[in-house]
Amino acid sequence: MQVELTKGMDIRTACHPLRHCERSEAIQKPKAKGWIASSHVLLAMTTSIFLAAPACATIAYVSNEKGNTVSVIDTDTWTVTKTITVGQRPRGIEFTRDGKFVLVAVGDDDTIQVIDVAKQEVVDTLPSGPDPELFVQDAAGKILYVANENDNTVTIIDIARRARLGEVQVGVEPEGMAISPDGKILINTSETTNMAHFIDTETRQIVANVLVDGRPRYAEFKRDHSELWVSAEIGGTVTIIDPVKREATGKINFAIPGLRREAIQPVGMAITKDGKTGFVALGPANRVAVVDATTHQVTKYLLVGQRVWHMAFTPDEKYLLTTNGISNDVSVIDVAAMKVIKTIQVGELPWGITMAPP
C-alpha cells in the first residue's frame, strides 16, 4: 500500500498502527504552483524519502503469572513501556487477528480478559470454563478455542459476540492448543492422559487420539501441515506426528552435558515459516534447543534465563523472545546469529508472550 506524505504528516503514520517507528520527521509535499525542480532534484527527493523510511518496531505483550500483570515491550528499544494490571494468574496470551485486542487467560478468575491495544487496559471479558490456560483462534479470528484445565474441556467462544458456543470433552488437564493450517483440525493436549486429541472443527468431535510422552504441554504445526510437534514436559521429548495418518513418526531427544535428564523439560516451541528450524524451550534447563526441523536433530543449545517457558518470533523472524519465569525476564535471541543479545526485566513469573501482527 502506498501512502502519500503531505505537509506536516508524521512519517510514523505510514507504519502499522500497532507498531511505532524509530524516527519521526515531517516531509513536505512540493507546492503545485510556483515550484520548479529538475528531474535530478525529484529523483534525489524520492530516493531520500525511501532511504529514510524508518524501521517499524513490533510490540510484544508478556503475561506475568504471579504478578497478575501484562508487560508491554517495544522491540525497537527492547524496553518495557507499560505494565497493565489484569486478573489472577494470567497465562495464555494472544493478539486478535485484527491486532486491535490482546486476549489473556486469567486462570484463577475463570475467564479470558480482553485488553484494548489503543487504550492499553482491560475493557471486556470472554466466557470460559474453569482455569483457562492456553487457547487458539481460527484463521478468521472469529472463533476462540480454550483449554480449561479444571473441567477437562475445550470451550468454544464467538469472539465478536462474546458468547460461548459449546464445549468438547477431552482428556485430563487439557493445556496445549493448536489448529491445522487449513482450519479443519483442532489439537488439544491433555497433561495427565498423555494424549494429543484431534478434534474436527466442523462436527466438534474427537476423531483421533495419539499417545505421546508424559505431560504434554504444547502443540505446534508446521506451516505446510506436514508435521505436528507435541512437547512432553515430564517425558523430556518432542513427539513428531503425521497429521494425515494421525500417528507418531519420531521423537526429538535432548541431552545437555552436566544436567540431569529430569531437569530437561520441553514446553513452548516455535517453528520458522519455512519449516526448516525449530526452537524448543527446555524449562528448568534454562536453555532453548535449536532443532534441524528436517532431521529432527538438535544443533545447538542457547543459554537463556531461568525456567524458560514460552516464546514468540517477531513477524520478520529476525528475533525470538523467550519468557523466563524464575529470573523474571525475557531473553532476546538473534535468530541469524543464534545467540542471546538482550535480557529485558518484566513482571513476576513471566509465562506467555504474543507479538503484534505485521
Write the Ramachandran bin of 55: left for phi over 0, alpha for psi from -120 to 50, otherwise beta.
beta
Interval 3-15 mean pLDDT: 36
Sign of CA dihedral 202, 206, 211, 215: positive
Regarding whether 109 and 152 lie in a shared domain, the answer is: yes
Terminal Cα-to-Cα distance of the chain (whole angstroms): 13
Q: Residue 120: which residues within 8 A CB-CB, separation 6 or more?
A: 72, 82, 84
**Mean pLDDT of the residues in the chain:** 88
Rounded-to-integer distance, Cα 94 and Cα 105, Å: 9
Residue 180 grid cell:
491445522
In a domain, 2, yes or no: no
In this model, does residue 14 exceed pLDDT 70? no
* pTM score, whole prediction: 0.85
In this model, does residue 123 exceed pLDDT 50? yes
pLDDT in tens, 346-356: 999 999 999 99
In a domain, 5, yes or no: no
Regarding whether 212 and 179 lie in a shared domain, the answer is: yes
Regarding whether 72 and 46 lie in a shared domain, the answer is: no
| Domains held by the chain: number | 2
Domain extent, residue 156, equals 59-355
Q: Which of 144, 168, 43 is CA-nearest to residue 92?
A: 144
Mean pLDDT is highest, among 24-28, 33-37, 47-51, 114-118, for: 114-118
User: Where residue 51 falls among pLDDT bands split at 50, 70, 90?
Assistant: very low
Regarding whether 142 and 40 lie in a shared domain, the answer is: no
User: Where residue 31 falls among pLDDT bands split at 50, 70, 90?
Assistant: very low
In this model, does residue 74 exceed pLDDT 90? yes
Pairing state between β 153-158 and 143-148: antiparallel
In a domain, 4, yes or no: no
Regarding whether 107 and 43 lie in a shared domain, the answer is: no
Please give the C-alpha separations between residue 265 and each of 121, 215, 262, 353, in angstroms, as whole numbers: 34, 10, 7, 19
Regarding whether 229 and 204 lie in a shared domain, the answer is: yes
Q: When comparing pLDDT for 71 and 48, which is higher?
A: 71
Regarding whether 315 and 218 lie in a shared domain, the answer is: yes
User: Where residue 37 falls among pLDDT bands split at 50, 70, 90?
Assistant: very low
Interval 286-309 mean pLDDT: 98
Residue 142 grid cell:
472469529
**For residues 330 and 308, is the Cβ–Cβ distance under 8 A?**
no
In a domain, 34, yes or no: yes
User: Where residue 358 falls among pLDDT bands split at 50, 70, 90?
Assistant: confident
Q: Residue 288: which residues within 8 A CB-CB, separation 6 or more?
A: 279, 280, 281, 282, 301, 302, 304, 308, 311, 320, 322, 331, 333
The pLDDT assigned to 298 comes to 98
Regarding whether 84 and 35 lie in a shared domain, the answer is: no
Regarding whether 199 and 335 lie in a shared domain, the answer is: yes
Regarding whether 316 and 223 lie in a shared domain, the answer is: yes
The pLDDT assigned to 182 comes to 95
Place of cell 524508518: 54
Interval 300-314 mean pLDDT: 98
Residue 215 grid cell:
505431560
**For residues 174 and 147, is the Cβ–Cβ distance under 8 A?**
yes
**For residues 331 and 343, is the Cβ–Cβ distance under 8 A?**
yes
pLDDT in tens, 144-176: 999 999 999 999 999 999 999 999 999 999 999
Regarding whether 134 and 20 lie in a shared domain, the answer is: no
User: Where residue 195 falls among pLDDT bands split at 50, 70, 90?
Assistant: very high
pLDDT in tens, 210-266: 999 999 999 999 999 999 999 999 999 999 999 999 999 999 999 999 999 999 999
In a domain, 89, yes or no: yes
DSSP 29: P
In a domain, 340, yes or no: yes
Q: What is the CATH number of the domain that holds 252?
A: 2.130.10.10
In a domain, 3, yes or no: no
Regarding whether 251 and 286 lie in a shared domain, the answer is: yes
In a domain, 35, yes or no: yes
In this model, does residue 128 exceed pLDDT 80? yes
Interval 324-351 mean pLDDT: 98
